[in-house]
Amino acid sequence: MNQSLTKNDILRLIKQRDKSIVFRKPKKSSKSSPVWEHFCIIVVNDIEQGFVCCDHCKELLVYRQRDGTTSMAKHKRSCHASLTSSSSCSDGQLSVTQYFTSSKSSNVPKGIKDKIKLACTEFTALDCRAFELVTGEGFLKMAQSIFDAGRYFSHLSNINVKELIPSPIT
């Protein structure tokens, strides 16, 4: 019987300390992501349930091999940040103030911030991406590079942004 349980079913089994649930570390291979050092696979009655458990905060995350470990890596970054932060919530979740800074301390005019917010919204919608993408380290580095390039060129220059973006085959 290959019955996968829901997240709530698994949480109930964990709370009841049911003996049918096992937290198993995956077998290591040369292709294994290092993120697996921080997660266990949820197994109930010898059947993998499609969930992993964070070793640090015990949060359950959906995991399918075909989707990879990206969501686990993102969780690990936020989980470790909250563990080292004195302002973190008790359940290991980041507080709202850790995601957003006060707009009063910003030197960026509201009109510019609104234009960027709209551009980020359009970017994520048009390219079918999660809005969380715009807060990622890689995206921020790319945005900073484009911003720096913009400072280099005068507002009168006739540079098209497409000239700055590399070809996907490079």
> Which of 98 and 70 is assigned the larger pLDDT?
70
Burial of residue 26 (number of CB atoms within 10 Å: 0-12, 13-18, 19+): middle
Q: Is 46 left (phi over 0), alpha (psi -120 to 50) or beta?
A: left
Say if residue 110 is in the same domain as residue 96: no
Say if residue 79 is in the same domain as residue 151: no
* Residue 110 domain-assigned (yes or no): yes
- pLDDT value, residue 30: 80
* Residue 39 domain-assigned (yes or no): yes
Domain that holds residue 8: 1-100
- pLDDT value, residue 51: 92
Q: What is the CA radius of gyration of the chain?
A: 21
How many helices (H) does the chain have, and how many strands (E)?
Answer: 5, 4
* Residue 170 domain-assigned (yes or no): no
In tens, the pLDDT along 90-112 reads 445 555 555 555 545 567 788 88
- pLDDT value, residue 43: 92
CB atoms within 10 A of CB 29: 7
Could you give the number of structural domains in the chain? 2
- pLDDT value, residue 2: 57
When pLDDT is averaged across residues 117-126 and rounded to a whole number, the result is 90
In tens, the pLDDT along 129-168 reads 888 888 888 899 988 888 888 777 766 678 888 888 888 8
pTM for the full model? Answer: 0.46
Percentage of residues in the chain with pLDDT exceeding 70?
A: 81
Per the prediction, the chain carries an average pLDDT of: 80
Q: What are phi and psi of 49, to 5 degrees?
A: -100, 0
The residue among 100, 129, 152 that closes a domain is 100
Say if residue 85 is in the same domain as residue 25: yes
> Which of 60 and 29 is assigned the larger pLDDT?
60
